[in-house]
Amino acid sequence: MTMVPSPFRVQQVRHETHDTFTLELEPVKGSDSFAFQAGQFNMLYVFGVGEIPISISSDPTNPRILMHTTREVGTVTKAMGKLRRGDVIGVRGPFGTPWPVEQAEGADVVIVAGGIGLAPLRSALYQMLANRDRYEKIVLLYGTRTPNDILYRRELQRWRSQFDLEVHITVDRAMGGWRSNVGVVTSLIPRAPFDARNSIALVCGPEIMMRFTVLELQRRGVPPSQIYISMERNMKCGTGICGHCQFGPYFVCKDGPVFRYDRVQHLFERREI
Amino acid sequence: MRTLEPILAEHPFFAGLDKRHLEVLTGCASNVVFQEGHIIFREGEEANTFYLIREGKVALEIHAAGMGTITIQTLNSGDILGWSWLVPPYRWHFDARAIEATRAIAMDGECLRRKCEQDHDLGYELLKRFAEVITQRLQATRLQLLDVYSTKERHTT
């Protein structure tokens, strides 16, 4: 089944920022839910245009609503941005490894998101908040380019007002009325309130941002075996057959996208992988 | 009489510093409070102080023609504000503005330079700590310059 796209109807296209949007989908036929785990991705097919991998950004505990947030950067995502309620697209998936949401139970969880990397982490956050009493501290550190590029504004505001979740946002540059942090997301790590030895860190964003984040987390004392990163490669088949997303001995679509850092550290620090 | 020594000792910047050095530094320290919106220093002014932020938030800003005020960085509780007092010609390169009510310890730069000349061990300790802060900020600036979240970003999510 994973090789054949299923038709899904667009329920809503929500513009998050000037160049990002969230597609809300529901199955055209069959089951009225779509089971997945936080961190997994789907292959979305705009008929007649092309198919691309996009992380699932909705709540795994509420699988009736399937959401994907993406940026309009290429032919397929631009066509996707023009979809309207009622349009039909093809969905294959879910694919890939999830965030270690269950393994993190009993520990502090520090989530470090960069740019649109917040999208797949939102699913993990939903799941943890649905079972809040199973975790110690939950800290979200989110960095993006400017205040205008902040995703999920309303949710972030709501989460910020919760007493059981620490949310810190920073932007790389700001002008005018921005009254929060300015600086790279790594600058939030040294004083974020979590117990480094008893923490699980989930990191997603551009690869350079993840490299610096991992260094800073380790400097803070988080062991590499407790850091998870979500890798990005050119995923095509989603099942580890075509080889487009090969990452050393791994296929990102099948063995990833979520990897425990100590298992890929030797590859992560190498060029041309 | 209570002195600022215990407060200096608790600040992350001075963590682990010898008591005799802390005593010397306390002689150059004073408590300051800035109301929200207060300009702590302006670009081009003489730089003879640095601040250990205890509470609040400070923005480093620069004005650019046609672009208005740009915030370069914000500093929070536990951070150090200002190192231009260390390097001639001792002039600030940015404006610093309290964007929240801010409590800090002001360290007199002239006093510190004098004490460091007299006690090179103290000078070395202080420079080591500033070198770490400067290195972190340089690396952060490089990361900012990479503009990793621009539309050239290749993340598919």
What is the span of the domain harbouring residue B39? 5-146
Specify the higher pLDDT residue, A232 or A56.
A56
What CATH number is associated with residue A86? 2.40.30.10
Closest Cα in chain A, distance from residue B117 (Å)? 32
Tell me how far apart the terminal alpha carbons of chain B are, to the nearest angstrom: 60
Tell me which residue in B71, B153, B156 faces A182 most closely, judged by beta carbons: B71
Q: Are strands A227-230 and A199-204 parallel, antiparallel or unpaired?
A: parallel
Flag if B151 and A71 touch (Cβ within 8 Å): yes
Regarding whether A142 and A84 lie in a shared domain, the answer is no
pLDDT in tens, A175-210: 877 889 999 999 999 989 999 999 999 999 999 999
Residue B47 located in a structural domain: yes
Interface of A with B in 205-234 (CB under 8 A): 205-206, 208-209, 212, 232
Residue B154 located in a structural domain: no
What CATH number is associated with residue B60? 2.60.120.10
pLDDT in tens, B121-155: 999 999 999 999 999 889 889 988 888 888 754 44
Closest Cα in chain A, distance from residue B157 (Å)? 5
Residue B157 located in a structural domain: no
**Confidence at B3, pLDDT banded by 50, 70, 90:** confident
Residue B140 located in a structural domain: yes
Residue B156 located in a structural domain: no
Closest Cα in chain B, distance from residue A233 (Å)? 8
Regarding whether A118 and A89 lie in a shared domain, the answer is no
Alpha-carbon dihedral of residues A37, A201, A141, A65, nearest 10 degrees?
0
What pLDDT, on the 0 to 100 scale, is given for residue A241? 82
pLDDT in tens, A65-117: 899 999 998 899 999 999 999 999 999 989 999 999 999 999 999 999 999 99
A191 shares contact with chain B (CB less than 8 Å):
yes
Rounded average pLDDT over A26-34: 80
Closest Cα in chain A, distance from residue B95 (Å)? 14
Specify the higher pLDDT residue, A238 or B62.
B62
pLDDT in tens, B54-93: 999 999 999 888 888 889 999 999 999 999 999 999 999 9
Regarding whether A128 and A69 lie in a shared domain, the answer is no
What pLDDT, on the 0 to 100 scale, is given for residue B152? 58
Please check whether residue B77 is in contact with residue B55, taking contact to mean a CB–CB distance below 8 angstroms. yes
Cβ atoms < 10 Å from Cβ of A208: 13
Residue B117 located in a structural domain: yes
- The beta-strand segments (E) located in chain B are 29-34, 39-41, 49-55, 57-64, 68-76, 80-81, 95-98, 102-108
Number of domains in chain B: 1
Listed residues A95, A119, A152: the one ending a domain:
A95
Flag if B144 and A52 touch (Cβ within 8 Å): no
* pLDDT value at A6 more than 50: yes
**ipTM summary value:** 0.85
In whole angstroms, give the CA distance from residue A82 to residue A72: 10
Regarding whether A132 and A86 lie in a shared domain, the answer is no
Residue A204 located in a structural domain: yes
Tell me which residue in B69, B139, B149 faces A144 most closely, judged by beta carbons: B149
* pLDDT value at A136 more than 90: yes
Helix (H, G, I), strand (E, B) or coil at A242: coil
Regarding whether A203 and A147 lie in a shared domain, the answer is yes
Q: B137: nearest CA in chain A? A: A187
A182 shares contact with chain B (CB less than 8 Å):
yes
**Confidence at A231, pLDDT banded by 50, 70, 90:** confident
A174 shares contact with chain B (CB less than 8 Å):
yes
Regarding whether A142 and A29 lie in a shared domain, the answer is no
Which chain A positions have a beta carbon within 8 Å of B80's beta carbon?
Answer: none
The helix-helix angle for B109-118 and B19-26 (nearest 10°) equals 140
Structure tokens at A14: 């929500």
What pLDDT, on the 0 to 100 scale, is given for residue A242? 82
Residue A239 located in a structural domain: no
In whole angstroms, give the CA distance from residue B111 to residue A199: 43
In whole angstroms, give the CA distance from residue A56 to residue B80: 40
Residue B153 located in a structural domain: no
What is the span of the domain harbouring residue A219? 108-230
Residue B155 located in a structural domain: no
